[in-house]
Amino acid sequence: DAGVIQSPRHEVTEMGQEVTLRCKPISGHDYLFWYRQTMMRGLELLIYFNNNVPIDDSGMPEDRFSAKMPNASFSTLKIQPSEPRDSAVYFCASSSTSGGVQLTGELFFGEGSRLTVL
Amino acid sequence: LAKTTQPISMDSYEGQEVNITCSHNNIATNDYITWYQQFPSQGPRFIIQGYKTKVTNEVASLFIPADRKSSTLSLPRVSLSDTAVYYCLPGDSNYQLIWGAGTKLIIKP
């Protein structure tokens, strides 16, 4: 498997523009997570899905952020409108807790999308 | 959720054994302890997980004392490529993991 695939790898945009980040989880994984990483706040969980259903979005900073998972192989994180403080690396991760060796399920991360909002 | 304390940074040299200790005084009965590694410009990567005593895999060992209030990640014979940030994560589920600042390990030649 190719692993978790994220796009774009880098995005530079101007304040007020809409940003859409995309993620393809590992096939067969039933959990999908969106994280944000900054120097100041470290790695923060924004939202996670189980079987395509959003379970906990309490980490989403505000209404400008939204996430969807229309099917098991695709998820998006949208920021509208974007602001400079949204600049960060956004990671998508997936995991499977069925049939795995590790009881809490190993998280497999993508390479991240580095967002810069000017 | 268990709060963790681990050194902000550590230095070592190639070929040495490196031990990174993490304290998690209020770990819950159901919590496992998981360690992840993160290289610059990459997502974190799972290293090892354990509940008690000792766990060993091809890349590391994890030592957990009987009271489980701490854990030690042991990297044998490190190389330059082991330079990374290492996160200690107690928890009983992936969605409850609280990622602290981790330990920045720098390996010198």
- pLDDT tens-digit map of A85-111: 999 999 999 998 754 444 566 899 999
Q: With an 8 Å Cβ cutoff, are B92 and A48 in contact? A: no
pLDDT value of position A99 = 44
Distance of CA B108 to the CA centre of its chain: 20
Q: How far is A15 from chain B (nearest CA, A)?
A: 24
Count CB-CB contacts under 10 A for residue A94.
28
For B41, the closest chain A residue by CA position comes to A111
User: In degrees, to the nearest 5, what angle opens at C-alpha B93 toward C-alphas B92 and B99?
Assistant: 95
Share of chain B above pLDDT 70, in %: 96
Span A60-76, average pLDDT: 95
